[in-house]
């Protein structure tokens, strides 16, 4: 039967032909698909929401890290007496942090706030610092750009860090590590019982390892390089700042002056037993003839300081574990004046408590400006808990001297001079209030 005949017969029997019956199947399928898409959309909403929350959490964490970075950067500058602004903009890639610094009226506390921003996410971290009386000395010897030289059986028991060259002659020895920083760093003729770091190492003996760009004529761990203790291509160590800044020394001078100003005969000559400090002396000071001088506080001499003959220099027992500074600094003459000289035999004694020291400080700047004046000249023997410090001048040591630490723009040792680093210098405390250090009191997140 043809399709036409079949259709006509069905029509005559009252039944419609079934030519389009597949449409009834498509409709349910469309309904099922619509339900499936609806359910999938609803199921995806939590995932999309979680993804958005993850993005916001990442942005929040990044903003928090930016706030931390900004606050830590400025806190570091404050603690290291580096320059900083009351408001600083710290860019980090495509993001940034804004830091602000506020100081309380008496200058004893600072608050550093870091605001990190990442799109719509912002977070703020706050660090509170308080003025302390602690200064850290981490090396037996720390030299500036002028460098360090040692000769004639002189020795160091402790580590040495220099921004300039380190040169040794005639049976000298360093019982510790040696660093000559920067691209011009040089270690030459030095015998170290530990490790050496320098751009160039020549004619050296290192019982430990060597880190360098260039090496020649040297023995490292018992043999010549290359060996397993030699590390060519090592990046140069960075130059570093001194532990006591000019601003901190100026504070100590102000504290000495607040204790009173000497009004007697100038120069101030001490030849007997006396207790002084805190005090400002507006002229040269000379201690001689077996004098016994007890220092009870900071002393600022606006001129030169000289120790002659066999003197006994003591810290007042009342100081306990604290140290004091004796400063030679004449602002009107820092080129040829503001010097410290120690001749003959001088003995320094602590307060009776370990960790208390004398700091002899010179404000002379001759070495830094290319002059030949010696800022601190220790020509004969001196022993005891004494630290020599001249961040702009030259320090010369000789003749059986035994000291605890030396810091200077240029330092030279000779004639059996010996430095024996004292661990207490890692956290030396100073008398008469703040010593220039800043200590972190707390850290917190703020709104």
Q: What is the per-residue pLDDT across 296-340, written as a single tens digit (0 to 9) for each? A: 999 999 999 999 988 999 999 999 988 999 999 999 999 999 999
Tell me: do 122 and 216 sit in the same domain: no
Q: Are 212 and 201 in contact (CB under 8 A)?
A: yes
Does the residue 68 lie in any domain? yes
Identify the burial level of 183 via C-beta atoms within 10 angstroms of its C-beta, where 0-12 means exposed, 13-18 middle and 19 or more buried.
Answer: exposed
Phi, psi of 88 (to 5 degrees): -130, 140
Closest CA relative to residue 191, chosen from 180, 183, 199, 177: 177
Does the residue 93 lie in any domain? yes
Does the residue 151 lie in any domain? no
What pLDDT was estimated at residue 403? 80
Tell me: do 68 and 188 sit in the same domain: no
Tell me: do 251 and 114 sit in the same domain: no
Q: What is the pLDDT of residues 165-216, one digit of tens each?
A: 999 988 889 999 999 999 999 999 999 999 999 999 999 999 999 999 999 9
Domain, as residue range, for 417: 246-430
DSSP label of 9: H
What pLDDT was estimated at residue 431? 44
Structure tokens at 217: 């004529």
Tell me: do 405 and 302 sit in the same domain: yes
Tell me: do 278 and 354 sit in the same domain: yes
Tell me: do 283 and 397 sit in the same domain: yes
**Stretches in the chain below the pLDDT threshold 50:** 3, 6-7, 10-11, 16-17, 19, 431-436
Tell me: do 274 and 336 sit in the same domain: yes
Tell me: do 347 and 417 sit in the same domain: yes
Q: Are 229 and 209 in contact (CB under 8 A)?
A: yes
Identify the burial level of 309 via C-beta atoms within 10 angstroms of its C-beta, where 0-12 means exposed, 13-18 middle and 19 or more buried.
Answer: middle
What pLDDT was estimated at residue 442? 73
Does the residue 410 lie in any domain? yes
What pLDDT was estimated at residue 97? 82
Tell me: do 193 and 276 sit in the same domain: no
Tell me: do 106 and 176 sit in the same domain: no
Does the residue 22 lie in any domain? no
Tell me: do 308 and 391 sit in the same domain: yes
Residues 6+ apart with CB under 8 A from 393: 339, 362, 363, 364, 365, 366, 367, 368, 373, 374, 375, 376, 408, 409, 410
Q: What is the pLDDT of residues 359-384, one digit of tens each?
A: 999 999 999 999 999 999 988 778 88
Does the residue 157 lie in any domain? no
Domain boundary among 206, 232, 258: 232
Number of domain units in the chain: 3
* pTM exceeds 0.95: no
Tell me: do 282 and 367 sit in the same domain: yes
Report the distance separating Cα 215 and Cα 313, nearest Å. 46
Does the residue 21 lie in any domain? no
Does the residue 200 lie in any domain? yes
């Amino acid at each position: 039967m043809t399709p036409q005949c079949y259709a006509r017969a069905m029509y005559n029997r009252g039944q419609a032909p079934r030519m389009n019956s597949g449409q009834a199947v498509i409709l349910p399928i469309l309904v099922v698909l619509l339900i499936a898409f609806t359910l999938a959309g609803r199921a995806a909403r939590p995932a999309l929401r979680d993804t958005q929350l993850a993005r916001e959490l990442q942005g929040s964490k990044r903003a928090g890290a930016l706030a931390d970075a900004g606050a830590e950067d400025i806190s570091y500058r404050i603690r290291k007496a580096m320059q900083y602004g009351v408001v600083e903009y710290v860019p980090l890639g495509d993001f940034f942090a804004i830091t602000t610094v506020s100081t309380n009226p008496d200058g004893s506390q600072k608050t550093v706030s870091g605001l990190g921003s990442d799109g719509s996410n912002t977070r703020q971290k706050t660090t509170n610092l308080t003025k302390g009386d602690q200064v850290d000395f981490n090396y037996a010897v720390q030299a500036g750009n002028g460098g360090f030289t040692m000769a004639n059986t002189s020795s160091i028991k402790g580590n040495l860090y220099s921004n300039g060259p380190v040169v040794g002659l005639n049976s000298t020895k360093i019982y510790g590590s040696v660093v000559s920083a920067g691209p011009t760093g040089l270690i030459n003729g030095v015998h170290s019982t530990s490790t050496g770091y320098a751009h160039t190492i020549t004619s050296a003996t290192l019982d430990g390892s060597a880190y360098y760009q260039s090496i020649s004529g040297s023995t490292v761990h018992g043999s010549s390089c290359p060996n397993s203790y030699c590390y060519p291509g090592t990046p140069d160590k960075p130059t570093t700042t001194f532990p006591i800044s000019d601003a901190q020394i100026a504070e100590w001078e102000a504290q000495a002056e607040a204790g009173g100003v000497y009004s007697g005969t100038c120069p101030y000559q001490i030849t007997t037993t006396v207790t002084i400090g805190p005090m400002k002396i507006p002229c040269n000071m000379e201690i001689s003839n077996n004098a016994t001088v007890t220092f009870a506080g900071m002393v600022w001499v606006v001129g030169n300081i000289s120790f002659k003959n066999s003197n006994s220099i003591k810290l007042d027992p009342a100081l306990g574990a604290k140290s004091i500074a004796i400063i030679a600094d004449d602002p009107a003459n820092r080129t040829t004046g503001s010097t410290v000289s120690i001749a003959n035999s001088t003995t320094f004694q602590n307060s009776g408590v370990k960790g208390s020291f004398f700091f002899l400080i010179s404000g002379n700047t001759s070495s830094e400006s290319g002059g030949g004046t010696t800022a601190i000249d220790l020509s004969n023997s001196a022993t005891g808990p004494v630290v020599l410090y001249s961040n702009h001048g030259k320090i010369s040591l000789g003749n059986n001297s035994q000291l605890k630490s030396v810091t200077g723009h240029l330092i030279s040792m000779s004639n059996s001079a010996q430095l024996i680093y004292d661990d207490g210098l890692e956290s030396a405390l100073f008398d008469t209030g703040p010593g220039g250090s800043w200590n972190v009191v707390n850290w917190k997140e703020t709104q």
